[in-house]
Amino acid sequence: MRLFRKFVNGQLCTATPIYEGHYNDEVFIMSFEDKEWFHAELKGLAAVSKKSYSPEVLDINIKNKQITLKWKDVTNLNHAFYYNIAPSDWKKQVKFILDDLENFGMYKINCYPHTFYIDNNVIRIMDLHACVMYHDDISESVISDVINNKERFKFTNGMLDIKSTYNYTISNNIGDWPEELLDD
């Protein structure tokens, strides 16, 4: 199994502090230390389970806090950008996913290329622990350890302003997308 990492400025780096990912040519295993993040991932997976862009979950191990995804003939979108093999319509597919989530009342506040992957030229979503409903109550103390940009995360009375945080993420290209996501 290989450790999952993302490209940042041409260098492989830790993809996320939330879980450790390992993969091979068949599966991707997400191993969580924190049970709250594990349960947030399960909640996100359940919310999108019927969507065409949902990941195919092969196994959930509650005791070990692990989720196994099908990873056959798959390329992470961050890696596809680095190797210049992303499908030509990647932007249209990602925007469809984000629009569909928004119409459902959900925001992907971790909207980074490494949180999407390509499965037979179809983009799917992963890292659903940060797909939150607009009305969710998320206190600053719960996510303070993973805040990587103080300007991006907006709080009111100690609670995350989900829509403002999401809008800032998208409009400021926080995910280091190769193009602006909102441009047509």
**Exposed, middle or buried, 64 (CB in 10 Å: 0-12/13-18/19+)?**
exposed
Quick one: tokens of 82? 């680095």
The mean pLDDT of 87-96, rounded to a whole number, is: 96
What span, in angstroms and rounded, lies between the C-alpha atoms of 152 and 167?
9
Give the span between the Cα atoms of 108 and 116, in whole angstroms: 11
CA dist 137 and 98 (Å) reads 21
- Measured between alpha carbons, how far is 102 from 80 in angstroms, rounded to an integer? 25
Residue 65 corresponds to which amino acid? K
DSSP letter for 159, please: E
Indicate the average pLDDT of the chain.
91
Distances (CA, A) of 117 to 48, 141, 163: 15, 30, 24
Overall pTM > 0.75? yes
pLDDT at 149: 76
> Which tens digit of pLDDT belongs to each residue from 101-159?
999 999 998 899 999 999 999 999 999 998 888 888 888 877 877 777 778 888 889 88
Q: Tell me the C-alpha distance between 22 and 157, whole Å.
A: 38
Q: Among all chains, which residue has been given the structure tokens 């829509």?
A: 163
Q: Quick one: pLDDT at residue 67? A: 98
The reported pLDDT for the residue numbered 13 is 95
Rounded-to-integer distance, Cα 165 and Cα 168, Å: 5
